Amino acid sequence: MSKEKIQVIERAGLPESPAELFGAAARYKGERYFYMNKDRSEWLMGLGHAFVIKEKRRSPGRITEQYQALLERVEGPHSVRLFGGFQFDDGDSALFSDFGHSHFVWPKIQVICRGHELTYTYTDMTEEEIIDWRQSAETAAPNITAIDNLDEEKFLSNVRTAVAAMNNHLFDKVVLSRQKKVTAENEIDSAWLLQNGLKNHENSYLVLIEQNDKIFVSRTPEQLVKVENQVLSTNAIAGTMSRSVVHAEEKLLGDAKNLGEHAIVVRSIEADIDDFTSEVKMPASPQIMVNNFFYHLYTPIEARISEGDILAVSHALHPTPALGGFPKEKAARFIKEVEGDRGFYGAPIGYITPDFDGEFIVAIRSMLIHRETAVLFAGCGVVKDSVPESELFETEIKFKPMLQLLGVTQ
Protein backbone atom coordinates (compact mmCIF):
# COMPACT_ATOMS: atom_id res chain seq x y z
CA MET A 1 0.00 0.00 0.00
CA SER A 2 1.35 3.50 -0.83
CA LYS A 3 2.34 5.83 1.98
CA GLU A 4 0.58 8.94 0.68
CA LYS A 5 -1.58 10.76 3.21
CA ILE A 6 -5.35 10.41 2.98
CA GLN A 7 -7.53 13.41 3.63
CA VAL A 8 -10.77 12.86 5.53
CA ILE A 9 -13.51 15.47 5.90
CA GLU A 10 -16.28 15.03 8.50
CA ARG A 11 -19.49 17.05 8.60
CA ALA A 12 -22.69 16.91 10.61
CA GLY A 13 -25.81 16.38 8.49
CA LEU A 14 -29.57 16.66 8.85
CA PRO A 15 -31.69 13.55 9.62
CA GLU A 16 -32.51 11.66 6.41
CA SER A 17 -34.23 8.47 5.36
CA PRO A 18 -31.46 5.88 4.85
CA ALA A 19 -33.34 4.21 1.98
CA GLU A 20 -33.60 7.52 0.07
CA LEU A 21 -29.97 8.32 0.69
CA PHE A 22 -28.92 4.86 -0.49
CA GLY A 23 -31.07 5.17 -3.62
CA ALA A 24 -29.69 8.64 -4.40
CA ALA A 25 -26.19 7.15 -4.45
CA ALA A 26 -26.97 5.22 -7.65
CA ARG A 27 -23.59 6.19 -9.11
CA TYR A 28 -21.97 3.97 -6.47
CA LYS A 29 -24.14 0.96 -7.31
CA GLY A 30 -22.12 -2.23 -6.73
CA GLU A 31 -20.08 -0.43 -4.03
CA ARG A 32 -22.63 0.34 -1.31
CA TYR A 33 -23.39 -1.16 2.09
CA PHE A 34 -25.85 -0.64 4.91
CA TYR A 35 -25.85 -1.90 8.51
CA MET A 36 -28.50 -1.15 11.11
CA ASN A 37 -28.56 -2.47 14.67
CA LYS A 38 -31.51 -4.26 16.27
CA ASP A 39 -33.12 -1.37 18.13
CA ARG A 40 -32.45 1.00 15.19
CA SER A 41 -30.49 3.35 17.47
CA GLU A 42 -27.61 3.31 15.00
CA TRP A 43 -27.07 2.79 11.29
CA LEU A 44 -24.03 2.87 9.09
CA MET A 45 -23.83 3.37 5.33
CA GLY A 46 -20.92 3.19 2.91
CA LEU A 47 -21.09 4.62 -0.60
CA GLY A 48 -18.26 3.91 -3.04
CA HIS A 49 -15.02 2.07 -2.41
CA ALA A 50 -12.02 4.17 -1.38
CA PHE A 51 -10.05 1.03 -0.41
CA VAL A 52 -10.90 -2.67 -0.54
CA ILE A 53 -8.90 -5.06 1.64
CA LYS A 54 -9.47 -8.55 0.33
CA GLU A 55 -7.72 -11.82 1.12
CA LYS A 56 -8.11 -15.25 -0.47
CA ARG A 57 -8.34 -16.88 2.97
CA ARG A 58 -9.93 -16.02 6.31
CA SER A 59 -7.18 -14.02 7.95
CA PRO A 60 -7.84 -11.55 10.78
CA GLY A 61 -4.06 -11.05 11.13
CA ARG A 62 -3.70 -9.81 7.52
CA ILE A 63 -6.74 -7.55 7.91
CA THR A 64 -5.26 -6.01 11.09
CA GLU A 65 -1.92 -5.34 9.34
CA GLN A 66 -3.48 -3.71 6.31
CA TYR A 67 -6.00 -1.73 8.32
CA GLN A 68 -3.22 -0.39 10.57
CA ALA A 69 -1.19 0.63 7.50
CA LEU A 70 -4.25 2.44 6.13
CA LEU A 71 -4.95 4.21 9.45
CA GLU A 72 -1.37 5.49 9.60
CA ARG A 73 -1.97 7.39 6.37
CA VAL A 74 -4.99 9.30 7.63
CA GLU A 75 -4.49 12.86 8.82
CA GLY A 76 -6.28 13.85 12.03
CA PRO A 77 -8.96 12.04 14.05
CA HIS A 78 -11.92 10.54 12.20
CA SER A 79 -14.74 8.04 12.60
CA VAL A 80 -14.35 5.96 9.42
CA ARG A 81 -14.95 2.27 10.14
CA LEU A 82 -13.68 -0.70 8.18
CA PHE A 83 -16.73 -2.69 7.11
CA GLY A 84 -16.99 -6.26 5.82
CA GLY A 85 -16.59 -9.82 6.97
CA PHE A 86 -15.04 -13.25 6.74
CA GLN A 87 -16.68 -16.07 4.77
CA PHE A 88 -18.05 -18.96 6.85
CA ASP A 89 -15.24 -21.33 5.82
CA ASP A 90 -12.10 -21.41 3.68
CA GLY A 91 -13.75 -23.29 0.80
CA ASP A 92 -14.64 -21.58 -2.48
CA SER A 93 -18.38 -21.10 -2.73
CA ALA A 94 -19.19 -20.35 -6.39
CA LEU A 95 -22.06 -18.05 -5.39
CA PHE A 96 -19.66 -15.82 -3.42
CA SER A 97 -16.75 -15.73 -5.89
CA ASP A 98 -16.95 -11.89 -6.12
CA PHE A 99 -16.13 -11.63 -2.40
CA GLY A 100 -12.80 -12.33 -0.68
CA HIS A 101 -12.70 -14.84 2.17
CA SER A 102 -11.63 -11.82 4.20
CA HIS A 103 -13.47 -8.93 2.59
CA PHE A 104 -13.39 -5.38 3.95
CA VAL A 105 -14.17 -1.94 2.56
CA TRP A 106 -13.19 1.58 3.53
CA PRO A 107 -15.80 3.78 1.84
CA LYS A 108 -15.54 7.02 -0.15
CA ILE A 109 -18.55 8.35 1.75
CA GLN A 110 -19.54 7.01 5.16
CA VAL A 111 -22.78 8.05 6.83
CA ILE A 112 -23.34 7.18 10.50
CA CYS A 113 -26.60 7.93 12.23
CA ARG A 114 -26.86 7.68 16.03
CA GLY A 115 -30.26 8.65 17.34
CA HIS A 116 -30.97 11.77 15.26
CA GLU A 117 -27.34 12.72 14.74
CA LEU A 118 -25.97 12.16 11.27
CA THR A 119 -22.28 12.36 10.41
CA TYR A 120 -20.97 12.32 6.86
CA THR A 121 -17.35 11.43 6.28
CA TYR A 122 -15.71 11.92 2.88
CA THR A 123 -12.40 10.29 2.08
CA ASP A 124 -10.19 11.78 -0.58
CA MET A 125 -12.99 13.72 -2.28
CA THR A 126 -12.88 17.24 -3.70
CA GLU A 127 -15.40 19.86 -2.57
CA GLU A 128 -17.15 19.53 -5.96
CA GLU A 129 -17.49 15.77 -5.62
CA ILE A 130 -18.88 16.24 -2.11
CA ILE A 131 -21.58 18.65 -3.31
CA ASP A 132 -22.43 16.69 -6.40
CA TRP A 133 -22.83 12.96 -5.70
CA ARG A 134 -26.61 12.67 -5.27
CA GLN A 135 -29.00 11.96 -8.12
CA SER A 136 -32.68 11.10 -8.16
CA ALA A 137 -33.32 7.40 -8.71
CA GLU A 138 -36.33 5.22 -9.45
CA THR A 139 -36.90 2.06 -7.45
CA ALA A 140 -39.27 -0.78 -8.31
CA ALA A 141 -40.51 -3.82 -6.41
CA PRO A 142 -39.34 -7.19 -7.74
CA ASN A 143 -42.06 -9.02 -9.60
CA ILE A 144 -41.56 -12.56 -8.29
CA THR A 145 -42.35 -15.32 -10.79
CA ALA A 146 -40.98 -18.48 -9.14
CA ILE A 147 -39.87 -19.88 -5.77
CA ASP A 148 -38.02 -23.21 -5.91
CA ASN A 149 -36.61 -25.46 -3.22
CA LEU A 150 -33.11 -26.37 -4.34
CA ASP A 151 -32.31 -29.31 -2.10
CA GLU A 152 -35.17 -30.43 0.16
CA GLU A 153 -34.52 -34.17 -0.23
CA LYS A 154 -30.79 -33.72 0.25
CA PHE A 155 -31.46 -31.75 3.46
CA LEU A 156 -33.68 -34.53 4.84
CA SER A 157 -31.08 -37.15 4.04
CA ASN A 158 -28.30 -34.98 5.59
CA VAL A 159 -30.34 -34.71 8.81
CA ARG A 160 -30.81 -38.51 8.87
CA THR A 161 -27.06 -39.05 8.33
CA ALA A 162 -26.26 -36.53 11.10
CA VAL A 163 -28.68 -38.17 13.55
CA ALA A 164 -27.10 -41.58 12.85
CA ALA A 165 -23.61 -40.12 13.36
CA MET A 166 -24.67 -38.57 16.69
CA ASN A 167 -26.22 -41.84 17.84
CA ASN A 168 -22.76 -43.30 17.18
CA HIS A 169 -21.33 -40.53 19.43
CA LEU A 170 -19.33 -38.91 16.57
CA PHE A 171 -20.42 -35.42 17.67
CA ASP A 172 -23.17 -33.74 19.78
CA LYS A 173 -24.71 -31.13 17.50
CA VAL A 174 -24.49 -29.93 13.90
CA VAL A 175 -26.29 -27.07 12.11
CA LEU A 176 -27.52 -28.05 8.65
CA SER A 177 -28.98 -25.76 6.02
CA ARG A 178 -30.77 -25.64 2.71
CA GLN A 179 -31.53 -23.12 -0.03
CA LYS A 180 -34.43 -21.68 -1.99
CA LYS A 181 -34.15 -19.89 -5.29
CA VAL A 182 -36.45 -16.95 -5.95
CA THR A 183 -36.77 -15.60 -9.47
CA ALA A 184 -38.15 -12.20 -10.46
CA GLU A 185 -39.11 -10.77 -13.84
CA ASN A 186 -37.00 -7.66 -13.24
CA GLU A 187 -33.65 -6.96 -11.58
CA ILE A 188 -33.93 -7.01 -7.77
CA ASP A 189 -33.07 -3.52 -6.55
CA SER A 190 -31.18 -3.06 -3.29
CA ALA A 191 -32.59 0.44 -2.66
CA TRP A 192 -36.11 -1.01 -2.86
CA LEU A 193 -35.16 -3.87 -0.50
CA LEU A 194 -33.92 -1.34 2.01
CA GLN A 195 -37.06 0.74 1.71
CA ASN A 196 -39.20 -2.35 2.19
CA GLY A 197 -37.08 -3.66 5.08
CA LEU A 198 -37.25 -0.38 6.97
CA LYS A 199 -41.05 -0.35 6.80
CA ASN A 200 -41.21 -3.53 8.78
CA HIS A 201 -40.12 -3.40 12.45
CA GLU A 202 -38.34 -6.70 12.96
CA ASN A 203 -36.22 -7.26 16.10
CA SER A 204 -33.16 -7.89 13.94
CA TYR A 205 -30.18 -6.26 12.29
CA LEU A 206 -30.51 -5.25 8.65
CA VAL A 207 -27.35 -5.72 6.62
CA LEU A 208 -26.82 -5.26 2.89
CA ILE A 209 -23.56 -5.40 0.91
CA GLU A 210 -23.15 -4.83 -2.80
CA GLN A 211 -20.14 -6.17 -4.64
CA ASN A 212 -20.12 -5.78 -8.43
CA ASP A 213 -23.51 -7.13 -9.54
CA LYS A 214 -24.05 -9.26 -6.39
CA ILE A 215 -25.98 -8.20 -3.30
CA PHE A 216 -25.77 -10.02 0.02
CA VAL A 217 -28.55 -9.32 2.53
CA SER A 218 -29.11 -10.52 6.09
CA ARG A 219 -31.84 -9.83 8.59
CA THR A 220 -30.31 -11.60 11.55
CA PRO A 221 -31.32 -11.40 15.19
CA GLU A 222 -27.92 -12.80 16.16
CA GLN A 223 -24.91 -10.79 17.28
CA LEU A 224 -21.62 -12.66 17.18
CA VAL A 225 -19.81 -10.15 19.39
CA LYS A 226 -19.48 -6.45 20.12
CA VAL A 227 -16.54 -4.75 21.82
CA GLU A 228 -16.96 -1.18 23.03
CA ASN A 229 -15.01 0.66 25.76
CA GLN A 230 -13.55 -2.63 27.11
CA VAL A 231 -16.96 -4.27 27.41
CA LEU A 232 -17.57 -7.39 25.38
CA SER A 233 -21.16 -8.41 24.62
CA THR A 234 -22.26 -11.55 22.92
CA ASN A 235 -25.20 -13.93 23.09
CA ALA A 236 -26.36 -17.45 22.55
CA ILE A 237 -29.38 -17.77 20.27
CA ALA A 238 -30.36 -21.39 19.66
CA GLY A 239 -33.63 -23.22 20.14
CA THR A 240 -36.57 -22.17 17.99
CA MET A 241 -40.35 -22.47 17.98
CA SER A 242 -42.76 -21.09 15.40
CA ARG A 243 -45.10 -18.41 16.75
CA SER A 244 -47.94 -20.36 15.17
CA VAL A 245 -47.58 -23.06 17.89
CA VAL A 246 -50.08 -22.67 20.77
CA HIS A 247 -48.32 -21.59 24.01
CA ALA A 248 -45.03 -21.60 22.07
CA GLU A 249 -43.09 -19.56 24.65
CA GLU A 250 -43.94 -21.86 27.55
CA LYS A 251 -43.30 -24.97 25.46
CA LEU A 252 -39.95 -23.67 24.26
CA LEU A 253 -38.78 -22.80 27.79
CA GLY A 254 -39.62 -26.35 28.90
CA ASP A 255 -38.47 -28.29 25.84
CA ALA A 256 -35.53 -30.61 26.61
CA LYS A 257 -34.28 -30.87 23.00
CA ASN A 258 -34.17 -27.10 22.48
CA LEU A 259 -32.72 -26.45 25.96
CA GLY A 260 -29.99 -29.03 25.25
CA GLU A 261 -29.12 -27.38 21.90
CA HIS A 262 -28.99 -24.01 23.65
CA ALA A 263 -26.81 -25.19 26.54
CA ILE A 264 -24.19 -26.50 24.08
CA VAL A 265 -23.92 -23.00 22.55
CA VAL A 266 -23.64 -21.22 25.93
CA ARG A 267 -20.91 -23.58 27.17
CA SER A 268 -18.91 -23.24 23.96
CA ILE A 269 -19.10 -19.40 23.98
CA GLU A 270 -18.00 -19.32 27.63
CA ALA A 271 -14.94 -21.44 26.78
CA ASP A 272 -14.10 -19.40 23.63
CA ILE A 273 -14.11 -16.00 25.39
CA ASP A 274 -12.30 -17.25 28.48
CA ASP A 275 -8.79 -16.26 27.27
CA PHE A 276 -9.91 -12.71 26.43
CA THR A 277 -12.15 -11.76 29.34
CA SER A 278 -12.85 -11.46 33.04
CA GLU A 279 -16.06 -10.79 35.02
CA VAL A 280 -18.37 -12.76 32.72
CA LYS A 281 -22.06 -12.15 33.48
CA MET A 282 -25.07 -14.05 32.17
CA PRO A 283 -28.47 -15.21 33.43
CA ALA A 284 -28.63 -18.76 34.81
CA SER A 285 -31.30 -19.86 32.34
CA PRO A 286 -32.29 -18.73 28.84
CA GLN A 287 -34.85 -16.03 28.09
CA ILE A 288 -37.21 -15.73 25.13
CA MET A 289 -36.33 -13.60 22.12
CA VAL A 290 -39.31 -12.61 19.99
CA ASN A 291 -39.03 -12.27 16.22
CA ASN A 292 -41.80 -11.77 13.67
CA PHE A 293 -42.11 -15.47 12.87
CA PHE A 294 -40.59 -17.35 15.81
CA TYR A 295 -39.41 -17.43 19.37
CA HIS A 296 -35.80 -18.27 20.16
CA LEU A 297 -34.05 -19.26 23.36
CA TYR A 298 -31.69 -16.41 24.16
CA THR A 299 -28.86 -15.88 26.66
CA PRO A 300 -27.19 -12.43 26.70
CA ILE A 301 -23.55 -12.57 27.84
CA GLU A 302 -21.40 -9.64 28.96
CA ALA A 303 -17.77 -9.49 30.12
CA ARG A 304 -14.81 -7.19 30.59
CA ILE A 305 -12.26 -7.64 27.78
CA SER A 306 -8.70 -7.87 29.05
CA GLU A 307 -6.88 -9.34 26.01
CA GLY A 308 -7.22 -9.07 22.22
CA ASP A 309 -9.60 -6.97 20.13
CA ILE A 310 -12.80 -7.36 18.12
CA LEU A 311 -11.05 -9.31 15.34
CA ALA A 312 -9.34 -11.77 17.68
CA VAL A 313 -12.50 -12.44 19.68
CA SER A 314 -14.80 -12.85 16.69
CA HIS A 315 -12.30 -15.25 15.10
CA ALA A 316 -12.21 -17.33 18.29
CA LEU A 317 -16.00 -17.44 18.52
CA HIS A 318 -16.84 -18.25 14.89
CA PRO A 319 -18.65 -20.47 14.22
CA THR A 320 -20.46 -20.85 17.52
CA PRO A 321 -22.39 -24.15 17.76
CA ALA A 322 -25.48 -22.05 16.86
CA LEU A 323 -24.20 -22.17 13.26
CA GLY A 324 -21.52 -24.87 13.20
CA GLY A 325 -21.98 -27.51 15.85
CA PHE A 326 -20.14 -29.23 18.69
CA PRO A 327 -17.35 -30.29 18.95
CA LYS A 328 -16.54 -27.52 16.50
CA GLU A 329 -14.01 -29.24 14.21
CA LYS A 330 -15.98 -32.45 13.84
CA ALA A 331 -19.17 -30.57 13.05
CA ALA A 332 -17.34 -28.33 10.54
CA ARG A 333 -15.97 -31.40 8.76
CA PHE A 334 -19.44 -32.92 8.56
CA ILE A 335 -20.94 -29.71 7.13
CA LYS A 336 -18.23 -29.46 4.50
CA GLU A 337 -18.76 -33.08 3.49
CA VAL A 338 -22.55 -32.99 3.12
CA GLU A 339 -23.22 -29.35 2.22
CA GLY A 340 -20.07 -27.78 0.79
CA ASP A 341 -19.07 -24.16 1.30
CA ARG A 342 -21.35 -21.51 2.79
CA GLY A 343 -19.84 -18.21 1.62
CA PHE A 344 -21.39 -15.42 3.71
CA TYR A 345 -24.32 -17.52 5.00
CA GLY A 346 -23.79 -17.75 8.78
CA ALA A 347 -20.59 -15.70 8.46
CA PRO A 348 -19.31 -12.89 10.73
CA ILE A 349 -20.07 -9.51 9.14
CA GLY A 350 -19.63 -6.12 10.75
CA TYR A 351 -17.34 -3.16 11.34
CA ILE A 352 -14.07 -2.27 13.06
CA THR A 353 -13.53 1.24 14.42
CA PRO A 354 -10.16 3.02 14.21
CA ASP A 355 -9.64 1.98 17.89
CA PHE A 356 -10.22 -1.70 17.01
CA ASP A 357 -13.56 -1.83 18.78
CA GLY A 358 -16.45 -3.05 16.66
CA GLU A 359 -19.31 -5.44 16.17
CA PHE A 360 -19.90 -8.58 14.09
CA ILE A 361 -23.24 -10.26 13.47
CA VAL A 362 -23.95 -13.83 12.38
CA ALA A 363 -25.31 -13.50 8.82
CA ILE A 364 -28.34 -15.80 8.96
CA ARG A 365 -31.84 -15.10 7.55
CA SER A 366 -29.85 -14.17 4.48
CA MET A 367 -29.71 -14.30 0.68
CA LEU A 368 -27.37 -13.67 -2.23
CA ILE A 369 -28.88 -11.77 -5.14
CA HIS A 370 -27.62 -11.74 -8.71
CA ARG A 371 -29.77 -9.54 -10.94
CA GLU A 372 -33.20 -11.30 -11.20
CA THR A 373 -32.46 -14.23 -8.89
CA ALA A 374 -31.95 -14.62 -5.17
CA VAL A 375 -30.63 -17.70 -3.37
CA LEU A 376 -32.00 -17.81 0.19
CA PHE A 377 -30.36 -19.71 3.07
CA ALA A 378 -31.90 -21.25 6.20
CA GLY A 379 -30.61 -23.76 8.70
CA CYS A 380 -31.27 -25.33 12.07
CA GLY A 381 -29.53 -27.15 14.87
CA VAL A 382 -29.67 -30.94 14.64
CA VAL A 383 -29.14 -33.16 17.69
CA LYS A 384 -29.51 -36.91 18.14
CA ASP A 385 -33.26 -36.77 18.87
CA SER A 386 -34.04 -34.48 15.88
CA VAL A 387 -36.92 -35.45 13.60
CA PRO A 388 -35.96 -34.66 9.96
CA GLU A 389 -39.47 -33.42 8.96
CA SER A 390 -39.64 -31.07 11.98
CA GLU A 391 -36.25 -29.61 11.06
CA LEU A 392 -37.48 -29.14 7.49
CA PHE A 393 -40.48 -27.21 8.86
CA GLU A 394 -38.20 -25.07 11.05
CA THR A 395 -36.06 -24.08 8.05
CA GLU A 396 -39.22 -23.32 6.06
CA ILE A 397 -40.15 -20.64 8.63
CA LYS A 398 -36.60 -19.34 8.70
CA PHE A 399 -36.89 -18.43 5.01
CA LYS A 400 -39.75 -16.07 5.82
CA PRO A 401 -37.76 -12.94 6.77
CA MET A 402 -36.03 -12.95 3.35
CA LEU A 403 -39.24 -13.83 1.46
CA GLN A 404 -40.96 -10.95 3.24
CA LEU A 405 -38.10 -8.63 2.32
CA LEU A 406 -38.56 -9.62 -1.32
CA GLY A 407 -42.23 -8.68 -1.04
CA VAL A 408 -43.53 -12.26 -1.05
CA THR A 409 -46.60 -12.59 1.16
CA GLN A 410 -47.69 -16.17 1.82
Interface positions with ligand ISJ (CB under 6 A):
175, 177, 222, 237-240, 296, 322-323, 364-365, 378-381, 398
CA distance 319 to 298: 17
Q: What is the nearest approach in angstroms of ligand ISJ to the Cβ of residue 308?
A: 24
Residue type, 157: S
Residue type, 257: K
CA distance 98 to 307: 34
Q: What is the nearest approach in angstroms of ligand ISJ to the Cβ of residue 296?
A: 5
Q: What is the nearest approach in angstroms of ligand ISJ to the Cβ of residue 4?
A: 43
Torsions phi, psi of 12, nearest 5?
Answer: -75, 145
User: Is 218 or 277 the residue whose CB approaches ligand ISJ more closely?
Assistant: 218
User: Is 60 or 381 the residue whose CB approaches ligand ISJ more closely?
Assistant: 381
Q: What is the nearest approach in angstroms of ligand ISJ to the Cβ of residue 317?
A: 13
User: Is 343 or 379 the residue whose CB approaches ligand ISJ more closely?
Assistant: 379
Dihedral over alpha carbons 166, 167, 168, 169 (to 10 degrees): 50
Q: What is the nearest approach in angstroms of ligand ISJ to the Cβ of residue 97?
A: 22
CA 271 to chain centre: 23
User: Is 208 or 383 the residue whose CB approaches ligand ISJ more closely?
Assistant: 383
Q: Are 190 and 208 in contact (CB under 8 A)?
A: yes
Beta-carbon contacts of 82 under 8 Å, excluding residues fewer than 6 positions away, are 53, 63, 67, 70, 104, 105, 106, 351, 352
User: Is 59 or 204 the residue whose CB approaches ligand ISJ more closely?
Assistant: 204
Q: What is the nearest approach in angstroms of ligand ISJ to the Cβ of residue 241?
A: 9
Q: Are 194 and 18 in contact (CB under 8 A)?
A: yes
CA distance 393 to 384: 17
CA distance 132 to 126: 10
Q: What is the nearest approach in angstroms of ligand ISJ to the Cβ of residue 245?
A: 14
User: Is 278 or 287 the residue whose CB approaches ligand ISJ more closely?
Assistant: 287
Neighbouring CB atoms inside 10 A of 370's CB total 15
User: Is 36 or 237 the residue whose CB approaches ligand ISJ more closely?
Assistant: 237
